[in-house]
Amino acid sequence: MICLPTPDAAILERRASIVHALRALVAQGNVIEDELRLAAYETDALTAYRQRPLAVVLPETTAEVAAILAFADREGVNVVPRGAGTSLSGGAIPAADAIVVALGKFNRILDVDYANRCVVAQCGVTNLAISHAVAGEGFYYAPDPSSQIACTIGGNVAENSGGVHCLKYGLTTNNVLGVEFVTPQGEIVRFGGKHLDAGHYDLLGLTVGSEGLIGIVTEVTVRILRRPQTARALLIGFQSIESAGACVAAIIGNGIIPAGMEMMDRPAIAAAEAFVKVGYPLDVEALLIVELDGPAVEVDYLIERVSEIATQNAAAGIRVSASERERLAFWAGRKAAFPAVGRLSPDYYCMDGTIPRRELPRVLREIDSMQARYGLRVANVFHAGDGNLHPLILYDANVPGETDKAEAFGFDILKLCVDVGGVLTGEHGVGLEKRDLMTYQFEPVDLEVQHRVKHAFDPSVRFNPGKVFPTLRRCAEQGREHVHSGAERFAHLPRF
């Protein structure tokens, strides 16, 4: 059970006057205070936790954001920034004494600049909309988090979002050139632009991945790339996790960085195949999807090389996509892995640790033995190229105590990731979810240094309270209210 911060009673009492003041700062109808409409903002994709905020404000311009933040600073009111609310780590979950600054009205692409190979978009533009805006000219924006049809570019910046292609093309931070940023004091500033690197401290680099703790990003400049001419994939089965892991290491050892390299274990394969029926082999312990992109001559050459490497590493079966349709079919099962696992069980809990790849067999063995201890099953999907592991813990929230058990199991897995030399989160962020585990990965002095960075921007600690850093506040037992998968938020979003 993760505690939400105890609200400041004095702020709660001033709710009416705060709402009144906010109304003067934005256009009519852009302050939400009624319980019914606030309900839409009470959680994100970490749906086990819910909290209604003091109010939600929907600014339409950067000047309005600045005015809201200056007001909140003057009045000592907490602020929770929000994009599409698709965070899997609770990054956008409100606090009871905070105003949510929801940026959905920042939905315009401001500049498509092919000469400088970049796009300038307001923060509420969806990740996929950027690629759509430049698709006609053959370009795209490379980072592709699985929620890309809904998640916003501003949220991607806050979380430093990844995606299945980030081994080759980098995370958000490697693809963002600049931001317009509003400080917690309501000052507007630009970090970066259409040029590369910083002339002084890299405040842009610090902003990316800061999880809404140091300010609000209102506009983002991203670099765009030409879409690769072709992509093909291999589907490779293995009789052991060890040989699949050895194959991945050998592919990279041969100097090949695939566009995507995904692994699934036996339970994940079975769940996916039962769900989408794309012809995954059911008699293997591990399945690897390797995607190669680029000019046809390169892709054809590398398909051969990877096939040879797989054969040398005891592959139990190799299929090569012969058409775009077949390539997409290979992916369909992997991309449906989360909902497929969701069919096996009323609820599942998705974890997100990163490990050194060599530790995969050991980590999976230990997760296996934990299953017996917790009496819960796990299916594993793995971004094999970069060591980012997504164990999916199956549980039933209707069974008393099982939610807590699933959470404890998940935390044990993340601690295991740290124990083998990895980290708590590869792409979902710390947020609310992993906040209390930060002391497991970091020493007090490391967290103190991070706190000081936060204080350099937000000295009164009002931005996104209760996230990322453990606090000593008393636990108010409010907040968690489980909703079954049937009523899940963003049930339509692919998650992988």
Partner 1 sequence: MVQDSERAVLRPRDAADLAEIVAGARGPLEPVGGGSKRAIGRPVEADLLDLGELGGIVAYEPAELVVTARAATPLAALDAELSAHAQRLAFEPPDFGALLGTSGEQTIGGVLATNLAGSRRVAAGAARDHFIGFNAVSGRGERFKAGGKVVKNVTGYDLPKLIAGSWGTLAVLTDVTLRVTPMAELDRTLVFTSATPAASVAILSAALGSPHDVSAAGFDPALGSLLRIEGFAPSVAARADALCGELSATPVGVFDGAASRQLWHVHASAVALAAIPFVWRISVPPADAPAVLDKLRPQRYLLDWGGGLIWAGFDAFDAANVRAAFGSGHATLIKAPAAERAAAVVFQPQPSVAAAASARLKAAFDPRGILNPGRMG
> Within 291-330, which residues bind partner 1 (CB under 8 A)?
294-295, 297-298, 301-302
β-partners of residue 479 are none
Of 124 and 143, CB closest to partner 1: 143
Per-residue CA distances from 139 to 112, 121, 122, 164 (Å): 11, 15, 19, 18
| Burial class for 322, CB neighbours closer than 10 Å (0-12, 13-18, 19+) | exposed
Q: Which of 38, 110, 112, 256 binds partner 1 (CB under 8 A)?
A: 256
Q: Which of 60, 63, 205, 489 binds partner 1 (CB under 8 A)?
A: 205
Of 18 and 68, CB closest to partner 1: 68
Q: Which of 13, 308, 404, 446 binds partner 1 (CB under 8 A)?
A: 446
Of 187 and 481, CB closest to partner 1: 187
* Residues 422-441, interacting with partner 1 (CB under 8 A): 422-430, 434, 438, 441
3-class DSSP assignment, residue 179: strand
Of 295 and 375, CB closest to partner 1: 295
Candidate ranges 97-105, 250-258, 279-287, 488-496; the one touching partner 1 (CB under 8 A): 250-258
Cα Rg of the chain, angstroms: 23
Of 253 and 279, CB closest to partner 1: 253
| Listed residue (122, 167, 111, 115) closest to 142, CA to CA | 167
Q: Which tokens hold the place of 95?
A: 């606090």
Q: Which of 108, 132, 195, 473 binds partner 1 (CB under 8 A)?
A: 195
Of 10 and 115, CB closest to partner 1: 115
Exposure on the CB side of residue 369, measured as CA atoms within 13 A: 6
Is 253:306 a contact under the CB 8 Å cutoff? no
Q: How far is the CB of 224 from partner 1 (least distance, A)?
A: 9
Q: Which tokens hold the place of 98?
A: 């905070």
Is 126:150 a contact under the CB 8 Å cutoff? yes
Q: How far is the CB of 463 from partner 1 (least distance, A)?
A: 13
* Identity of residue 429: G
* Residues 394-423, interacting with partner 1 (CB under 8 A): 421-423
β-partners of residue 320 are 234
Q: Which of 37, 74, 455, 484 binds partner 1 (CB under 8 A)?
A: 455
| Listed residue (229, 146, 179, 26) closest to 428, CA to CA | 146
Q: How far is the CB of 323 from partner 1 (least distance, A)?
A: 20
Per rule CB under 8 A, is residue 110 in the interface with partner 1?
no
Binding mask 2-31 for partner 1 (x = CB under 8 A): ------------------------------
In angstroms, the CA 467 to CA 154 distance is 18
* Residues 47-86, interacting with partner 1 (CB under 8 A): none
Per-residue CA distances from 315 to 239, 241, 312, 365 (Å): 8, 11, 7, 20
Cα angle: 51, vertex 57, 60; to 5 degrees: 145
Q: What single string gives the DSSP state of each residue in 245-301?
A: HHHHHHHHHTT---SEEEEEEHHHHHHHHHHH-----SS-SEEEEEEEEESHHHHHH
Q: How far is the CB of 141 from partner 1 (least distance, A)?
A: 14
Count helices and strands in the chain by DSSP H and E runs: 17, 19
Q: How far is the CB of 483 from partner 1 (least distance, A)?
A: 26
Is 443:418 a contact under the CB 8 Å cutoff? no
* Residues 135-194, interacting with partner 1 (CB under 8 A): 138-139, 159-160, 162, 166-167, 170-171, 173-174, 183, 187-191, 193-194
In angstroms, the CA 433 to CA 264 distance is 24
Candidate ranges 51-59, 142-150, 324-332, 379-387; the one touching partner 1 (CB under 8 A): 379-387
| Burial class for 3, CB neighbours closer than 10 Å (0-12, 13-18, 19+) | buried
Of 76 and 253, CB closest to partner 1: 253
* Residue position matching structure tokens 């994009």: 83
Q: How far is the CB of 161 from partner 1 (least distance, A)?
A: 8
* Residues 346-365, interacting with partner 1 (CB under 8 A): 354-358
Candidate ranges 47-55, 96-104, 220-228, 231-239; the one touching partner 1 (CB under 8 A): 220-228
Of 200 and 373, CB closest to partner 1: 200
